[in-house]
């Protein structure tokens, strides 16, 4: 009889676990749906993408939501327990992909990144974090802001310097990586350290770069090393 009772208790425990897991998934879904519905109350635009997670690790999840009737006209919203806010006024193309969207930068913070464009070859980056349940817009995010890992990021500002034509004008669009670091509130540059020519030559590929510089008729001035 005792053994039978033990089996009954075990079965009930398993059922309780299954019910708890089921309720957890249900709460997850209902919480996400609630935040989406808050945005639907503010706009008639179609919900295109939802980025739902606990951005500030306070135990409450928030959502950055992209709305729009077409790929060329989208808007970014924030939806949380404390506020529902339209974050972008321009109806432009907004997209996310590898290197943006939800980006975990530390054990207690995640960022939301997206890229915007009004057409052509130029774009700009959007970046937001959450503080006290409210969305905070990050300034000076440049173009092509991409999450590498942890606090390490890169931007890809455009330049017309691919080649020089017969008139001496620089032509051809290029995008070169420039590396930045997240400090919890904004993006900062890596600190540069001055090194000697002898120290530079110890790095792989340095000799070939120096040869190219000398061949072009330039002289080596100050050299700075940045760890990124």
Q: Residue 30's pLDDT is what?
A: 83
Segments making up each domain of the chain, as ranges: 2-189, 191-228
Report pLDDT for 219: 85
Q: Which of 47-56, 95-104, 146-155 has the lowest mean pLDDT?
A: 95-104
Task: For the chain, give the percent of residues with pLDDT over 70.
Answer: 77
63-109 per-position pLDDT tens digit: 999 999 888 889 999 999 999 999 997 667 788 878 889 999 999 99
Sequence-distant (6+) residues with CB within 8 A of 122 are: 143, 158
SS (H, E, C) the chain: CHHHHHHHHHHHHHHHHHHHHHHHHHHHHHHHHHHHHHHHCCCCCCEEEEEEECCCCCCCCEEEEEEEEECCEEEEEEECCCCEEECCCCCEEEECCCCCEEEEEECCEEEEEEEEECCCCCCEEEEEEEECCEEEECCCCCCCCEEEECCEEEECCEEEEEEECCCCCEEEEEECCEEEEECCCCEEECCEEEECHHHHCCCCCHHHHHHHHHHCCCCCCCEEEECC
Residues in the chain: 228
pLDDT at 169: 64
| pLDDT value of residue 26 | 52
Which tens digit of pLDDT belongs to each residue from 18-41?
Answer: 344 444 555 566 899 999 999 999
Buried b (16+ CB within 10 A) or exposed e, 130-150: beeeebeebeebbbbbbbeee
- pLDDT, tens digit, for every residue of 166-198? 666 656 667 788 899 999 999 998 877 888 989
């Amino acid at each position: 009889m005792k053994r039978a009772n033990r089996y009954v208790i075990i079965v009930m425990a398993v059922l309780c676990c299954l019910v708890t897991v089921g309720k957890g998934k249900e709460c997850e879904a209902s919480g996400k749906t609630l935040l989406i519905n808050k945005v639907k109350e503010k706009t008639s635009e179609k919900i295109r993408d939802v980025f739902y997670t606990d951005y500030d690790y306070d135990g409450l999840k928030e959502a950055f939501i992209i709305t729009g009737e077409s790929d060329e006209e989208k808007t970014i919203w924030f939806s949380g327990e404390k506020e529902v806010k339209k974050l972008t006024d321009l109806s432009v193309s907004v997209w996310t992909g590898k290197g943006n969207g939800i980006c975990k930068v530390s054990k207690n913070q995640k960022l939301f990144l997206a890229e915007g464009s009004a057409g052509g070859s130029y774009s700009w980056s959007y970046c937001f974090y959450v503080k006290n349940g409210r969305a905070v817009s990050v300034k000076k995010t440049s173009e092509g802001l991409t999450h590498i890992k942890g606090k390490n990021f890169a931007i890809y500002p455009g330049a017309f310097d691919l080649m020089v034509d017969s008139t001496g004008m620089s032509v051809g669009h290029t995008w070169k990586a420039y590396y930045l670091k997240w400090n919890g509130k904004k993006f900062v540059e890596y600190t540069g350290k001055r090194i000697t020519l002898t120290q530079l030559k110890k790095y792989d590929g340095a000799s070939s770069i120096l040869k190219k510089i000398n061949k072009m008729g330039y002289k080596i001035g100050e050299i700075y090393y940045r760890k990124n």
